Amino acid sequence: MSWAYAALLVPCAAYMLALLAPSAADLLCAHASMACAAWGDAFLRRAAPVASVHAAIQYMDRALPALGVSLVLAVLGYGATYLAIAWSHRAFAAHGLCGRDLLKRTGAPVPESLGLPCAVIYLVLLLLFIPFRHFGCAASLYADHAQNLALYLSALLSMYSGALLGFVDDVLDIRWRFKLPIPLLSSIPMLMVYIAEGGATSVVVPAWPPVLRAFLRRTTLELGALYYVYMMLLAIFCTNCINILAGINGVEVGQALVIAVSVCINDLLYLDVPAVVQQAFFGRDVQVSLPLHNSVDLAARHLFSLHLLLPFIGTSAALLAWNRYPSRVFVGDTYCYFAGMVLVACGVLGHYSKTLLLFFLPQIANFLLSAPQLFHLVPCPRHRIPYLDAATGRLYPSCVVWEPRGMRGMLGGACIDMFVRMRLVCRVYDTHGKVLGVSNLTLLNAILVFCGARPGLASEATKRDDVALRVDALQGTVWLSERGLWYAMMGVQVAGSVLAFLVRYRLANAIFP
């Protein structure tokens, strides 16, 4: 664990240094030149790089305010979260916060809700960051200091309430009908700031099909209050969608990390980092430009998003180290809600909420697939995670008993028919060939069905309590273990991000010229 201590201590020292940076570096240079005078030219040659690195860092900080500090906090976040989990996970279990790992033969108890130390450390890092951001950014990018601070604090408040809601859910197991609308309340602070700073509420009318612009006789459409409704729904979606794509080791943190890294890459497209680095460290006189849309305001918003996301990536990576297969801790709903709120705060306050939604393509697919179960057109068991064949360690889609029930049954049946034709869902039959049920409607089960893993014939002694269906004969062509399914799911998430970039920067340019 010594590297975790190093990851903690080095950034701590760097943070202290950065706090004192201007005076400390000046002092260093002054001492260096005094020493130079005393000890001659040889020392001058060694001291010179110190001064030039100091100047380069100062230049970087002017061009991309506080980004360096954010990077330091990300590394600090990794070390601190890793150690915090190491120190606290037994205490969580001792206080009853532990769950059974359903996809392990032993079903051993694993400490639950360890998303809490991750969220707490992240939020402490963001508090430490306030002076850097305020003095760094406010001076050069934001005209209004108070507004800049309000923007940042509203994001913090929304994230705090997201984490709190998740922890309450872990402890009290809130019912879904209450869980769904609560993120609405969490999103109020950032929506108020969005209103106060006069955020745009219009959308561009697509140029294709051409009849749309001809019919509306305009190129932009003012949505007004509807736009706020959209952002509230986005908050509900982002907080819950990670939670319903859960249940195998490491999948909650993995998906949040891929989305966060993708959003960071998107942010960097708005900042000319290579030119700044070349100027600062190699002294090349390159023209620093704003690569996309040439707007200082846009650059400031994407810098804001990076300030929030870099420490999030650091703390989440440490959590993944503990939560990846085989999990030593579970993240709990605390992490799912907290991560959703961090991403939605970046999207709304960074004014790229539509682009953000593109990075949630797998989560949107999982939601659409899950909808018949979430809206009770098809029964929804307590757990929908895949079924483990303990003898081989292979995963199969888990199933649910499904009986057509009048009109609701017919609607559910139509959805199932469509999913079966798309090879995302499979039916389970009894020995007489009668349909007994279907595989649970989740993306994880769909990947297994798509790969050819099938629940076989259900025996007469089918277990019907909890509407979960035990399968006893299993067939399949491609086998996936829990670790294999995690890699497959991460592959889908990365492919989703690649598609999102293509849509955002190729298709969107054609449709919204």
Which of 60, 69, 103, 141 contacts ligand UD1 by CB under 6 A? 103
In angstroms, rounded to a whole number, what is the distance separating the alpha carbons of residues 14 and 33? 24
Which of 105, 383, 405, 464 contacts ligand UD1 by CB under 6 A? 383
Residue 103 contacts which entry, ligand UD1, Mg ion, none (Cβ below 5-8 A, type-dependent): ligand UD1
Let me know the angle formed at the C-alpha of 465 by 461 and 469, rounded to the nearest 5 degrees: 60
In angstroms, rounded to a whole number, what is the distance separating the alpha carbons of residues 418 and 117? 43
Helix (H, G, I), strand (E, B) or coil at 202: strand
In the complex, the smallest distance separating the C-beta of residue 187 from ligand UD1, rounded to whole angstroms, is 20
Which of 60, 66, 80, 112 contacts ligand UD1 by CB under 6 A? 112
Residue 272 contacts which entry, ligand UD1, Mg ion, none (Cβ below 5-8 A, type-dependent): none
| Residue 162 found at the interface with ligand UD1 (CB under 6 A) | no
| Residue 99 found at the interface with ligand UD1 (CB under 6 A) | yes
In the complex, the smallest distance separating the C-beta of residue 442 from ligand UD1, rounded to whole angstroms, is 6
In the complex, the smallest distance separating the C-beta of residue 239 from ligand UD1, rounded to whole angstroms, is 11
For residues 162 and 412, which CB has a smaller minimum distance to Mg ion in the complex? 162
| Residue 243 found at the interface with ligand UD1 (CB under 6 A) | yes
In angstroms, rounded to a whole number, what is the distance separating the alpha carbons of residues 20 and 94? 42
In the complex, the smallest distance separating the C-beta of residue 383 from ligand UD1, rounded to whole angstroms, is 3
Binding mask 331-370 for ligand UD1 (x = CB under 6 A): --x-------------------------------------
In angstroms, rounded to a whole number, what is the distance separating the alpha carbons of residues 304 and 296? 12
For residues 118 and 157, which CB has a smaller minimum distance to ligand UD1 in the complex? 118
For residues 249 and 353, which CB has a smaller minimum distance to ligand UD1 in the complex? 249
For residues 187 and 243, which CB has a smaller minimum distance to Mg ion in the complex? 243
In the complex, the smallest distance separating the C-beta of residue 250 from ligand UD1, rounded to whole angstroms, is 7
**Which structure tokens are listed for 150?**
């309000």
| Residue 255 found at the interface with ligand UD1 (CB under 6 A) | no
| Binding site residues, Mg ion, CB under 5 A | 243, 333
For residues 258 and 280, which CB has a smaller minimum distance to ligand UD1 in the complex? 258
For residues 243 and 442, which CB has a smaller minimum distance to Mg ion in the complex? 243
In angstroms, rounded to a whole number, what is the distance separating the alpha carbons of residues 249 and 252? 8
Instruction: Write out the DSSP string of 214-236.
Output: HHHTSSEEE-THHHHHHHHHHHH
Let me know the angle formed at the C-alpha of 167 by 465 and 263, rounded to the nearest 5 degrees: 105
Give, as ranges, the residues between 416 and 475 that touch ligand UD1 (CB under 6 A): none
Q: Which of 459, 378, 360, 392 is nearest to 420 (CA)?
A: 378
Residue 482 contacts which entry, Mg ion, ligand UD1, none (Cβ below 5-8 A, type-dependent): none
For residues 161 and 398, which CB has a smaller minimum distance to ligand UD1 in the complex? 398
Instruction: Give the contacts of 87 (CB within 8 A, at least 6 positions apart).
Output: none
Which of 142, 330, 338, 486 contacts ligand UD1 by CB under 6 A? 330
Q: Which part of the chain contacts ligand UD1 (CB under 6 A), choosing from 123-131, 143-151, 190-198, 247-255?
A: 247-255
For residues 100 and 145, which CB has a smaller minimum distance to ligand UD1 in the complex? 100
In angstroms, rounded to a whole number, what is the distance separating the alpha carbons of residues 437 and 414? 14
For residues 61 and 170, which CB has a smaller minimum distance to ligand UD1 in the complex? 170
In angstroms, rounded to a whole number, what is the distance separating the alpha carbons of residues 504 and 355? 7
Helices (H), 64-144: 67-94, 115-140
For 76-88, letters b (16+ CB in 10 Å) and e give bbbbbbbbbbbeb
Rama region for 162: left / alpha / beta (φ>0; ψ in -120 to 50; rest): alpha
Which of 4, 118, 244, 256 contacts ligand UD1 by CB under 6 A? 244
- Which residue lies nearest ligand UD1, judged by its C-beta? 99
Rama region for 23: left / alpha / beta (φ>0; ψ in -120 to 50; rest): alpha
For residues 18 and 331, which CB has a smaller minimum distance to ligand UD1 in the complex? 331
Beta strand pairing call for 454-455 and 109-111: unpaired
Q: Which part of the chain contacts ligand UD1 (CB under 6 A), choosing from 6-14, 117-125, 238-246, 416-424?
A: 238-246
Q: Which part of the chain contacts ligand UD1 (CB under 6 A), choosing from 80-88, 240-248, 278-286, 505-513?
A: 240-248
By rule CB under 6 A, what count of residues binds ligand UD1?
A: 18
Q: Cβ(123)–Cβ(312) under 8 Å?
A: no
For residue 38, the surrounding DSSP H or E stretch is helix 21-39
| Residue 101 found at the interface with ligand UD1 (CB under 6 A) | yes
Query: What are the C-alpha distances in Å from 253 to residues 170, 242, 325?
Result: 16, 9, 12
| Residue 248 found at the interface with ligand UD1 (CB under 6 A) | yes
| Residue 249 found at the interface with ligand UD1 (CB under 6 A) | yes
Helix (H, G, I), strand (E, B) or coil at 401: strand
Q: Which of 48, 69, 47, 71 is nearest to 58 (CA)?
A: 69
| Residue 246 found at the interface with ligand UD1 (CB under 6 A) | yes
* Contacting positions for ligand UD1 (CB under 6 A): 99-103, 112, 243-244, 246-249, 327, 330, 333, 383-385
